[in-house]
Structure 1
Amino acid sequence: MIVKLIIALLLLGIVASLFSSAFFLVKDDSQRKRTLSLLKLRVALSVTLIIFVLVAYTAGWLVPHGPQP
């Protein structure tokens, strides 16, 4: 259950970073590079999510399931 919670939090962080980056891209007129820093954060969160899912799968914390015959 904790693994699914971590995955959900990482996905929520990625989506929040996406929308805040889009907001700063449209509305921000300053010379601060907030859009770029949020892009870096989104990429880091995505890489972290992929690595975490791979580790959780190989450790047996995540078990794939599908339709049972």
Structure 2
Amino acid sequence: MNWIFLIAFIGILGALAAAGFFMLKRPQSKEDAPKTMARALAWRVGISVALFLMILLAWSQGWIEPRGVPLGR
């Protein structure tokens, strides 16, 4: 289960990096750059929502359990 979360997190960071790359790259045409950047950001949002729903599903099925924050006493 941890591997799925790790892969989704890497996908989120990859989509964010792609959006940053498209933002900084010199566009071939004026309309091309905003579309590609928006598409990369839309993928990031979609992957983030899917990851959140996967975490809720895993929690509801009992595959993962919340552990809380250790107090360190």
Structure 1 length normalisation: TM-score?
0.86
CA distance in structure 2 between the partners assigned to 1:18 and 1:40 by the alignment: 10
SS of equivalent to 1:29: coil
- 1:52 to partner: Cα distance: 0.3
Query: Which AA in structure 2 matches 1:34?
Result: T
Query: Which AA in structure 1 matches 2:10?
Result: L
Structure 2 length normalisation: TM-score?
0.81
- 1:63 to partner: Cα distance: 1.4
| Number of residue equivalences | 67
SS of equivalent to 2:53: helix
Give the match for residue 2 of structure 2.
Answer: 4
SS of equivalent to 2:55: helix
SS of equivalent to 1:18: helix
Give the match for residue 43 of structure 1.
Answer: 45
List gaps (5 residues or longer) in structure 1: none
- Fraction of identical pairs, as percent: 31
Q: CA RMSD in A?
A: 1.8
Greater C-alpha radius of gyration:
2
Show structure 1 runs of 4+ deviating over 3 A: 66-69
Give matches, 1:48-63, under 5 Å.
Answer: 48-63=50-65
